[in-house]
């Protein structure tokens, strides 16, 4: 299976990057073709320009040259793993920008019917991606994050379910309060990620 691994952390020496490497190792160990997409390392531009927004609904024009390779890789994927930290109870800006710019009409969804380009019935267009996993690390503890509603978990599970048109929501693997987790605990979570990724794909 071809699995795109989308990563969003600027520090290669970080624990989150170690999670990214663990995902790649697990996929390769199980004979899958991993396509690593390290947004920071690749210099992805998360900012939607005025021109980008104006042509957003124009399926013939919205895949600009700087987005084409990202769209092609997404459309070629059969599985997806998103590895990212949670900052301020949300995604890093570069990851949110990726979703805003790449998951657009003609790519992640199709608008059917309606009397204009931005109206109509939304139809998921990424059904070829059969399995989705989110792997993430939080600075906040589980209780405080629960009080805040844990937006990243809810977004991943609900948005992911709708976006990929699957029968079940994406798998969500989260390490909370990571700054207070022991070295053995950090290692154990990496091993858990490898096990779950290995049996998911």
pLDDT digits (tens, 9 = 90+) for 75-92: 999 999 999 999 999 999
What confidence category does residue 66 fall into, taking pLDDT thresholds of 50, 70 and 90? very high
Contacts of 77 (CB under 8 A, 6+ apart): 2, 3, 4, 35, 128, 129
Q: 147: which 2 tokens?
A: 């009080």
pLDDT at 114 over 70: no
What confidence category does residue 162 fall into, taking pLDDT thresholds of 50, 70 and 90? confident
Name the DSSP letter for residue 60.
Answer: T
pTM score of the predicted model:
0.93
Per-residue pLDDT, 117: 59
Helix, strand, coil distribution of the chain in percent, nearest 5: 45, 20, 35
Angle at 104 between CA 42 and CA 12, to 5 degrees: 20
Nearest alpha carbon to residue 117 among 77, 57, 48, 191 = 57
Q: Which domains does the chain have, with CATH numbers?
A: 2-200 (3.40.50.360)
Name the average pLDDT for the chain. Answer: 94
């Amino acid at each position: 299976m071809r699995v795109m691994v989308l990563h969003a952390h600027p520090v290669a020496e970080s624990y989150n990057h170690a999670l990214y490497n663990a995902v790649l190792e697990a996929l390769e160990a199980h004979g899958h073709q991993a396509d690593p997409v390290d947004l920071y390392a690749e210099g992805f531009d998360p900012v939607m320009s005025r021109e980008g927004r104006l042509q957003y609904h124009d399926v013939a024009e919205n895949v600009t040259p700087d987005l084409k390779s990202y769209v092609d890789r997404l459309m070629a994927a059969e599985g997806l793993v998103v590895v990212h930290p949670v900052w301020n109870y949300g995604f890093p800006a570069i990851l949110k920008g990726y979703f805003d710019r790449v998951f657009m009409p003609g790519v992640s969804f199709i608008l059917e019917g309606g009397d204009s380009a931005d109206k109509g019935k939304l139809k998921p267009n990424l059904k070829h991606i059969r399995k989705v996993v989110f792997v993430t690390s939080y600075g906040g503890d589980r209780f405080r994050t629960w009080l805040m509603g844990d937006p990243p978990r809810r977004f991943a599970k609900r948005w992911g379910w709708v976006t990929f048109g699957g029968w079940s929501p994406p798998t969500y693997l989260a390490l909370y309060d990571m700054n207070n987790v022991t070295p053995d605990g950090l290692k154990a979570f990496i091993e858990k990620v490898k096990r779950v990724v290995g049996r998911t794909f």
